[in-house]
C-alpha cells in the first residue's frame, strides 16, 4: 500500500466523525419505565423520546430520517421508526411556518402519555409538540429491522439516522446523533462513543422510572434522573443552550432597530474600507 493511500485513509477516518457531528436534530432525553408495549403501538406505553432541533429543518427533511433504539446488550438496533410527513406538515400549518426552528422539541411517546399534540407555535412561545407512537411517529414501513421501542435497564442507545432505514441491525453508517447508557457497551454503544464522544454513553445501568437526560449542550453531559421533563429543556446548561437557539431564530425575533442601524453602519464601513483598498492599489 502506498504512502499516499495511507494518508487518504487517515484523512477519511478523521473526516468521518466530523461529518457525523453535523446534526440538525439531537436526542435530548429518553424515559425508561417498567411498562409494556401496547397492541400495535410498537413502543412501551409510558416511555418517551425527546428530540431537539438545532438547525432549521423542513418536514420533508425530518421525514427522510429514521430513529429508534437498541437491544439491552446495545449490540444491535431494535426498533426503527420514522416521522410521518403529513403530521409534520400539519404541525407547521398550525405554527404558520414553513420549517421547524432551532430550539424546537419533538416528543415521541407511548399511547398512555396523553393524546398527540400538534399545537406547535414558536412565534407565540409554543416550542414543543408531541407525537404518539403509531400515529405521527411510525414503525418504519420497510421492516428490515422489526422491533419495539423498549428502553432497557441494562443498556440502551437512542439514535437518529439519515439512513432510511438502516440496512442491517448493525448499520450505524447513517447515524447523525445518538445517546445511551450501558455499563458494558456492546457494538452499537461502542460505535456511538467512538463517533460522537464517550460522553454520549452513560457508563451505567439504570432502574425503571428514570430519564437519561442531556444537561449539556452539543457536548453531552448525561445524567440519570427520576425527574421527567417531557417537552421541556433538561435544566442547567441544556436550558440555557436551547433558549439561546430559540432567541437566535430570525423568524421569532425581528432585528431591533439599534442592532439594525449597527449592522448598516458595519456594512457601510466595510464598503468604505473596500473602496479605500481599491484606491490604494494591490496589497501584498
Question: By C-beta, is 68 or 136 nearer to Ca ion?
Answer: 68
Number of H helices and number of E strands within the chain? 6, 12
Piece of the chain touching Ca ion by CB under 5 A; list 43-51, 128-136, 192-200, 260-268: 43-51
Is residue 32 involved in binding Ca ion (CB under 5 A)? yes
Q: Pick from 48, 129, 151, 241: which binds Ca ion (CB under 5 A)?
A: 151
Residue 17 vs 244, nearer CB to Ca ion: 244
What distance in Å separates the CA atoms of residue 19 and residue 56, rounded to the nearest whole number?
Answer: 18
Residues 70-99 that bind Ca ion (CB under 5 A): 78
| 91 vs 213, beta carbon nearer Ca ion | 213
Residue 78 or residue 87: which is nearer to Ca ion going by CB?
78
What CA–CA distance (Å, rounded) separates 60 from 76? 27
Buried b (16+ CB within 10 A) or exposed e, 128-137: bbbbbbbebb
Task: Pick one of 42, 48, 65, 69: the residue that binds Ca ion (CB under 5 A).
Answer: 69
Question: Smallest distance from the beta carbon of 82 to Ca ion, in angstroms?
Answer: 17
Q: Which is nearer to Ca ion, 168 or 275 (CB)?
A: 168
> How large is the angle between the packed helices 187-196 and 3-21, nearest 10 degrees?
90
Q: Does 234 bind Ca ion (CB under 5 A)?
A: yes
Binding flag, residue 229, Ca ion (CB under 5 A): yes
Beta strands in 137-284 (DSSP E): 137-139, 155-161, 175-182, 201-202, 210-214, 222-225
C-alpha to C-alpha distance for 153 and 224, rounded to whole angstroms: 11
Footprint on this chain of Ca ion (rule: CB under 5 A): 29, 32, 50, 69, 78, 150-152, 229, 234
Amino acid at each position: 500500500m502506498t504512502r499516499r493511500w495511507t494518508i487518504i485513509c487517515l484523512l477519511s477516518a478523521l473526516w468521518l466523525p466530523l461529518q457525523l457531528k453535523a446534526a440538525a436534530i439531537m436526542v435530548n432525553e429518553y424515559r425508561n419505565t417498567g411498562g409494556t408495549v401496547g397492541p400495535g403501538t410498537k413502543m412501551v406505553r409510558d416511555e418517551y423520546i425527546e428530540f431537539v432541533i438545532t438547525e432549521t429543518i423542513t418536514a420533508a427533511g425530518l421525514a427522510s430520517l429514521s430513529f429508534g433504539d437498541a437491544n439491552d446488550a446495545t449490540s444491535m438496533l431494535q426498533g426503527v421508526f420514522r416521522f410521518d410527513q403529513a403530521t409534520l406538515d400539519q404541525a407547521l400549518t398550525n405554527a404558520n411556518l414553513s420549517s421547524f426552528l432551532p430550539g424546537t422539541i419533538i416528543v415521541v411517546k407511548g399511547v398512555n402519555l396523553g393524546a398527540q399534540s400538534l399545537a406547535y407555535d414558536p412565534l407565540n412561545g409554543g416550542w414543543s409538540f408531541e407525537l404518539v407512537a403509531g400515529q405521527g411517529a411510525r414503525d418504519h414501513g420497510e421492516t428490515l429491522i422489526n422491533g419495539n421501542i423498549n428502553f432497557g435497564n441494562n443498556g440502551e442507545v437512542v439514535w437518529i439516522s439519515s439512513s432510511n432505514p438502516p440496512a442491517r441491525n448493525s448499520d450505524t453508517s447513517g447515524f447523525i446523533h445518538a445517546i445511551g447508557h450501558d455499563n458494558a457497551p456492546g457494538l452499537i454503544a461502542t460505535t456511538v462513543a467512538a463517533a460522537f464522544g464517550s460522553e454520549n454513553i452513560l457508563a451505567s445501568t439504570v432502574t425503571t422510572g428514570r430519564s437519561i437526560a442531556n444537561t449539556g449542550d452539543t457536548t453531552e453531559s448525561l445524567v440519570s434522573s427520576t425527574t421527567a421533563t417531557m417537552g421541556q429543556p433538561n435544566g442547567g446548561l441544556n436550558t440555557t443552550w436551547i433558549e439561546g437557539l430559540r432567541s437566535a431564530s430570525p423568524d421569532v425575533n425581528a432585528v431591533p432597530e439599534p442592532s439594525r442601524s449597527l449592522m448598516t453602519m458595519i456594512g457601510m464601513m466595510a464598503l468604505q474600507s473596500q473602496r479605500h483598498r481599491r484606491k490604494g492599489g494591490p496589497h501584498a
